[in-house]
Amino acid sequence: MITKLRLENWKTHKDSELEFDKGTNVLIGKMGSGKTSVIEAICYALFGTFPALNRKEVSIEEVILSKPYEEDNASLTLEFRYGKSNYSVNRKILKKKTNQATLYENGRLIAGPQVTEVNKKIEDILKINYEIFSRAIFSEQNQIDYFLKLSPQQRKQSFDEMLALDRYERVRAGAVKVRNKMKILLALKKDSLARLLESFDEKELKEILKKLEETKERLGSINSEISQKEKIVKEFDIKIKELEKIRVLFENSRRKQIEYSTKLDTLQQEIAGFTAAKYEVSEIKKEIEKLEKEIEKINDAKSEINSLKALIEDKTKRKISLDKVILSIKSKNPLGVNEKDIEEKILGLNKKIKDLEELIDGSAEDIEKLEEKRSKNKEEIGCVCERINNHKKEHDNLKGLHAKCPICKQAVDETLKKNLSKENEACISKEEKVLDGLKGELGELEKKIELTRTEEKEQRKLFETLNKEIQALEGSKKDIQMLLENEKQAELLKKDICNLNEKQEKASKLIAKEDISEKKKEIEKNTEILRKIEKSETAEKIKKDLKGIESQLKEIKYDRDEEIEIRAIFEREKETIRSLGKELETKTEWINEAGKRKISIESMEKNIGELKRGIENIEKSNEKIAIFTNTLIETQNSLRTLLIETINDAMGDLWWRIYPYKDYSSLKIDISEGDYVLMIKTPTKWQRIEGLLSGGERSAAALTIRLAFSLVLASNLSWLILDEPTHNLDRMTISRLSLLMREHMPTLIEQIFLITHDSEMENAASSKVYFLERNKDEEGITKPIVQDVE
């Protein structure tokens, strides 16, 4: 039971608090006074939504009070009792922020502040969700005839959902799905089985097993045969190896025998007719040695002669070149002047040079003195010329108008002028005489200097000629010395050459009689004898060896035919072993393959068994599912019939209480071919209501259905909310309805909320009546005024 609702800033409600009681509570007011808002608030407080919001006709922020001024949040608090507990739910709606909700049970917080948590909790407590609430409990304004407006098919769906019959439908669909899947599985299994049976042959396994045993037996006998043969082969192998050794020995001796006899043959041919016994080896060797020494001596002498020849040649060459030098020196000095004469001449010339040097020195001194005098003379001439110039300047001065005394610088008169001029002129003529004398002296001096210089030049020329003469004499002196030396050496060479020639002649005489080639031939002859002696000895030795080999050959017992025969037997046995091995291999391979085949046949057998069992199981399950779905359909049908019957019962009871006329006596839902058809009873028969009833009659029928549903479906909650149910009803029916609401319904439903603008419906209240007042012209807020009903 809902006990209290507080609305803050919720649409037109600034702050309204409404208390409710058992029985029929009525909210009366003009349109727009905020009646529906109260019901929407109850719905929102419980489920977090209401029909207009659910259909997105409004947003939640739009419920916050906006007239006459704007608020930024709204709040709802709903108190209700359910079972033995008191609950209080609060919801806060905030602009542009997350909304919040809290739920208290007996003053203890049990959910929140998360909105979804609170929604879930309330659904759990009331055992009803928004869908059922909005259809079975809450009849919206203008939606009372909702069920009438649906098509029979939609109606069936909607009813089935409300009656929770759709669950059976879902389970059945699930079962059918499983059955279909099983059918596919069954077909697959049957197919696999058929294919397996096709390739399965019971006889094959028996045959394979028999053949396997036989082959294994044969394998055993092959193995023993092979080991026997291998023993024989081993023995023969040893025998062959022994024979091989003997053969090698025999062949080696034979080869040696042949080799030695051919060697002996050639040796004997080489020494045919030669008798070694005639010769003594040591003497022959001595003879050879002697001959070799003689050849060596001759060769030595020859090489000495050669070196002497070279020496003579060299010395002769040197003597010839010396003779040439001597000749050339002699040609320079044909008169044969000797060294002493030259030395005396040099001495005389040296004396002359000394004298000449003194003369040159004297001349140089004279020149110096004369030049000194000349420069002094030139100086004096310069002084006199200056003096003369000065006198001439004074003279000119005196000739001028304002002449002054040259000493006192006073102006002079004419007489003084004349005297001074005369004096001046006398001085000039005296100086000019002196100048003439000096010039004459200068001329003399120049002549003397010229003369002395020519003398000095001639003396120096002479000096040079004398020096050259001395140099030439010194050269001649050296030549004479060299000539003497060369002549001495030429003499020595001549003597040497003479000696060497003598020596050479002696050596030549010594070897003139000797003949080297003869001696060499002799040596060769002796060496050949020695070689033959050696060969005779070798031939003797080979003869002895041959005898040894021959006796050895006689001792070796080797039979070629025996070896060939033994080898043939050995190869034959080996071949047998090889072919037995091959048979062994193929037989073993076959056993492997047969083993595999055996396993696969066995597993096929196993699979066939499993498949057969699987098919059996599926077929059984299928039967069970068929039974299950049939049962489901039956259960669903009987449940549906039961529920509809109950609803029909309720409608039968309600109809005559609401509808005041006798033309239609009852109302029911008919289930025909799965559709839910609404039927009404005319005096003669049941008829479909579509197209038959007037607007008011339809409303009465719709209301009856609504009331019946809430009685049957929400029996645990026992709530009913009707928003403007009187639409289309005539006055008589309205008064019937208000009576029903006040008298009969409270005995069936614990709490009813009735919203109306019709003042007649005030009589429907069995508990609280709220008059909602609001000045719509001034966009005022809602003022609820309560009135208790007695």
Ligand X SMILES: Nc1ncnc2c1ncn2[C@@H]1O[C@H](COP(=O)(O)OP(=O)(O)O)[C@@H](O)[C@H]1O
Which of 67, 177 has the CB closer to ligand X? 67
CA nearest neighbour of 542 among 259, 231, 182, 162: 259
Contact partner at residue 746 from ligand X, Mg ion, none, CB < 5 to 8 Å by partner kind: none
Contact partner at residue 6 from ligand X, Mg ion, none, CB < 5 to 8 Å by partner kind: none
Please identify, among the stretches 56-64, 345-353, 435-443, 637-645, the one whose residues bind ligand X according to the rule CB under 6 A: 56-64
Binding mask 133-172 for Mg ion (x = CB under 5 A): --------x-------------------------------
Shortest reach from residue 771's CB to ligand X, in Å:
11
Which of 66, 665 has the CB closer to ligand X? 66
Structure tokens at 35: 């009646």
Contact partner at residue 629 from Mg ion, ligand X, none, CB < 5 to 8 Å by partner kind: none
Which of 296, 778 has the CB closer to ligand X? 778
Please identify, among the stretches 27-35, 312-320, 329-337, 454-462, the one whose residues bind ligand X according to the rule CB under 6 A: 27-35
How many residues interact with ligand X (rule CB under 6 A)? 16
Which of 35, 121 has the CB closer to ligand X? 35
Match 């919040």 to its residue by tokens: 100
Which of 63, 713 has the CB closer to ligand X? 63
Which of 570, 771 has the CB closer to ligand X? 771
* CA–CA distance, 719 with 725 (Å, rounded to integer): 16
CA nearest neighbour of 786 among 776, 773, 775: 773
Longest CA span, the chain: 210
Give the CA distances from residue 471 to residues 69, 342, 466, in Å, rounded to whole numbers and listed in that order.
156, 11, 9
Q: How many CB atoms lie within 10 A of CB 303?
A: 10
Binding mask 19-58 for Mg ion (x = CB under 5 A): -----------------x----------------------
Shortest reach from residue 101's CB to Mg ion, in Å:
25
Shortest reach from residue 728's CB to ligand X, in Å:
17
Sequence-ordered list of residues with C-beta below 8 angstroms from that of 66, at least 6 positions apart, any chain = none
Q: What are φ and ψ of residue 280, in 5° steps?
A: -110, 115
* CA–CA distance, 725 with 737 (Å, rounded to integer): 9
> Environment class of residue 68 by beta-carbon count within 10 Å: exposed (0-12), middle (13-18) or buried (19+)?
exposed
* CA–CA distance, 578 with 724 (Å, rounded to integer): 113
> Environment class of residue 512 by beta-carbon count within 10 Å: exposed (0-12), middle (13-18) or buried (19+)?
exposed
* CA–CA distance, 715 with 719 (Å, rounded to integer): 8
Shortest reach from residue 34's CB to Mg ion, in Å:
8
Shortest reach from residue 725's CB to Mg ion, in Å:
12
CA 585, distance to chain mean position in Å, is 54
Shortest reach from residue 36's CB to Mg ion, in Å:
3
Contact partner at residue 67 from Mg ion, ligand X, none, CB < 5 to 8 Å by partner kind: ligand X
Which of 70, 616 has the CB closer to ligand X? 70
Match 């007037």 to its residue by tokens: 694
* CA–CA distance, 488 with 335 (Å, rounded to integer): 21
Is residue 29 part of the contact set for ligand X (CB under 6 A)?
yes
Which of 35, 172 has the CB closer to ligand X? 35
Helix, strand or coil, per DSSP, at residue 22: coil
Shortest reach from residue 79's CB to ligand X, in Å:
21
Which of 23, 725 has the CB closer to Mg ion? 725
CB environment 762-772: b (16+ within 10 A), e (fewer): bbbbbbbbbbb
Structure tokens at 322: 């010396």
Which of 67, 457 has the CB closer to ligand X? 67
Shortest reach from residue 778's CB to ligand X, in Å:
12
Q: Residue from 19, 32, 473, 618 that binds ligand X (CB under 6 A)?
A: 32
Q: How many CB atoms lie within 10 A of CB 15?
A: 13
Which of 61, 287 has the CB closer to ligand X? 61
Match 């004349």 to its residue by tokens: 418
Q: How many CB atoms lie within 10 A of CB 206?
A: 10
How many residues interact with Mg ion (rule CB under 5 A)? 2
Is residue 33 part of the contact set for ligand X (CB under 6 A)?
yes
Is residue 184 part of the contact set for ligand X (CB under 6 A)?
no
Please identify, among the stretches 58-66, 370-378, 409-417, 450-458, the one whose residues bind ligand X according to the rule CB under 6 A: 58-66
Shortest reach from residue 763's CB to ligand X, in Å:
20
Q: Closest residue to Mg ion, Cβ-based?
A: 36
Contact partner at residue 391 from ligand X, Mg ion, none, CB < 5 to 8 Å by partner kind: none
Q: What are φ and ψ of residue 93, in 5° steps?
A: -110, 120
Residues in 6-25 at the binding interface with ligand X, rule: CB under 6 A:
11-12
Question: 83: phi > 0 → left, psi -120 to 50 → alpha, else beta; which?
Answer: left
Residues in 60-79 at the binding interface with ligand X, rule: CB under 6 A:
62-67
Which of 52, 325 has the CB closer to ligand X? 52
Q: What are φ and ψ of residue 621, in 5° steps?
A: -55, -40
Shortest reach from residue 720's CB to ligand X, in Å:
18
Q: Residue from 6, 8, 16, 34 that binds ligand X (CB under 6 A)?
A: 34
- Which DSSP helix (H) or strand (E) runs through 79? strand 73-82
Please identify, among the stretches 59-67, 173-181, 224-232, 583-591, the one whose residues bind ligand X according to the rule CB under 6 A: 59-67
Match 């199981």 to its residue by tokens: 617
Which of 698, 774 has the CB closer to ligand X? 774
CA nearest neighbour of 725 among 63, 39, 21, 55: 39
Please identify, among the stretches 34-42, 216-224, 621-629, 691-699, the one whose residues bind ligand X according to the rule CB under 6 A: 34-42
Q: How many CB atoms lie within 10 A of CB 789?
A: 17
Match 């020519």 to its residue by tokens: 454
Q: Residue from 2, 16, 26, 35 that binds ligand X (CB under 6 A)?
A: 35
Residues in 124-153 at the binding interface with ligand X, rule: CB under 6 A:
none
Structure tokens at 106: 């007996």
Contact partner at residue 650 from ligand X, Mg ion, none, CB < 5 to 8 Å by partner kind: none
Contact partner at residue 33 from Mg ion, ligand X, none, CB < 5 to 8 Å by partner kind: ligand X
Whether 767 contacts 21, CB under 8 Å: yes
Which of 31, 327 has the CB closer to ligand X? 31
Which of 669, 781 has the CB closer to ligand X? 781
Contact partner at residue 37 from ligand X, Mg ion, none, CB < 5 to 8 Å by partner kind: ligand X
Contact partner at residue 710 from ligand X, Mg ion, none, CB < 5 to 8 Å by partner kind: none
Q: How many CB atoms lie within 10 A of CB 605?
A: 14
Is residue 651 part of the contact set for ligand X (CB under 6 A)?
no
Structure tokens at 6: 């507080």
Structure tokens at 93: 């709606």
Of the CA atoms within 13 Å of residue 330, those in its CB half-sphere come to: 9
Which of 29, 48 has the CB closer to ligand X? 29
Is residue 726 part of the contact set for ligand X (CB under 6 A)?
no
* CA–CA distance, 161 with 131 (Å, rounded to integer): 9
Which of 36, 766 has the CB closer to Mg ion? 36
Structure tokens at 219: 């394998």
Of the CA atoms within 13 Å of residue 272, those in its CB half-sphere come to: 4
The full DSSP string for 224-241 is: HHHHHHHHHHHHHHHHHH
Q: Which amino acid is at 503?
A: K
Shortest reach from residue 35's CB to Mg ion, in Å:
5
Contact partner at residue 163 from ligand X, Mg ion, none, CB < 5 to 8 Å by partner kind: none
Residues in 84-143 at the binding interface with Mg ion, rule: CB under 5 A:
141
Interface with ligand X (CB under 6 A)? 11-12, 29, 31-37, 62-67
The residues of the shown chain that bind Mg ion, judged by CB under 5 A, are 36, 141
